[in-house]
Every structure is written in C-alpha cells, then in structure tokens.
Amino acid sequence: MEKKEIYLESLKTATPQEGRELAIKLARKSVAAIQTDGEIRKKLRNDYAQDTAQLIASSQVIATEFQTIAMANNFWK
C-alpha cells in the first residue's frame, strides 16, 4: 500500500537546520503513508493549517522526529 519511494537515505544531516527540515519531511511522509491520495492530503492540509490544535499536534510530531535525528547526528557537536 505504501509508495516504494525512498525518502530517507540517512538520518545524517550537515547542520541542525537541515535536521529540522528532515524532521518536517518525516512527519509529512507518515501522513502520506496513511492517506495515500495526494489530492485528499492537499485539501486536508488547507484545513488543519488553520486549526491551532492540529498545528500544535504537528509540532509535537516534528519535535519527536527531530529528537531522533539530533541523536543520530550526535547533536551536531
């Protein structure tokens, strides 16, 4: 059912900023793995971007993904 697209080659990123961008990408890919119809996702996204509770919940997902990425990069020390 999932797309066979490879969207995660490595958890390593050159900078913390790129780590944030990867965290956001992973969060989006999880939604895409469940709701596989891109048109429906686009429509849904317009809705939740106006809903603060869902924006905050999305930020929580990003925070969790980022923690994993930061660990993988030894916190970019």
Rule CB under 8 A: which residues touch a copy of itself? 2, 6-12, 15-17, 19-21, 24, 26-27, 29-31, 33-35, 40, 44-45, 47-68, 70-72, 75-77
Cα–Cα distance measured from residue 70 to residue 16, given in angstroms and rounded to the nearest whole number: 7
Task: Round to whole Å and give the CA distance between 20 and 2.
Answer: 24
CB of 27 to a copy of itself, least distance (A): 6
Phi-psi category of 74—alpha, beta or left, where left has phi over 0 and alpha has psi -120 to 50? Answer: left
CB of 47 to a copy of itself, least distance (A): 6
Q: At its nearest, how many Å lie between a copy of itself and the CB of residue 26? A: 7
